[in-house]
Amino acid sequence: MGEKADVWQGTLSLMVLKTLEVLGPLHGYGIARRIEQTSGNLLSVNYGTLYPALLKLEQEGYIASAWGVSDKNRKAKYYRLTRAGRKQVQKETREWEQATGIVARFLAPAERP
């Protein structure tokens, strides 16, 4: 089995927002595990990247946090999507779909006239 790749630059915030949109409030560890599971365990989430991304998303108003208790009865910070975050998920999804569509044109076999 191959080595896991790190999450691609510029995609982590969208993955976090989409995860919270689908699953509701989660703590950082839960977000990381879900991203890895959704990738089929092909991606690895680096906590040194995840927590600054969560802080940035919170400062931008896309997520909010509150302290709670995890399944293992430990204190954990839970993150949830805000109204602005829901709009941002839609915006980033459209932008990502457009960007991947452009790249796909370059990867497709060239048509000959």
pLDDT in tens, 51-68: 999 999 999 999 999 999
Q: From the options 3.20.110.10, 2.170.150.70, 1.10.10.10, 3.40.50.80, give the CATH code of 5-107.
A: 1.10.10.10
Predicted structure pTM score: 0.86
Q: For the segment 5-50, what is each residue's pLDDT rounded down to a tens digit?
A: 677 767 899 999 999 999 999 999 999 999 999 999 999 998 899 9
Q: Tell me the DSSP string of 9-65.
A: TTTHHHHHHHHHHHH-SEEHHHHHHHHHHHTTS-EE--HHHHHHHHHHHHHTTSEEE
Confidence of residue 106 (pLDDT cuts 50, 70, 90): very high
Task: Read off the pLDDT band of 97 (50, 70, 90).
Answer: very high
User: What is d(CA 81, CA 17) in angstroms, rounded to the nearest whole number?
Assistant: 7
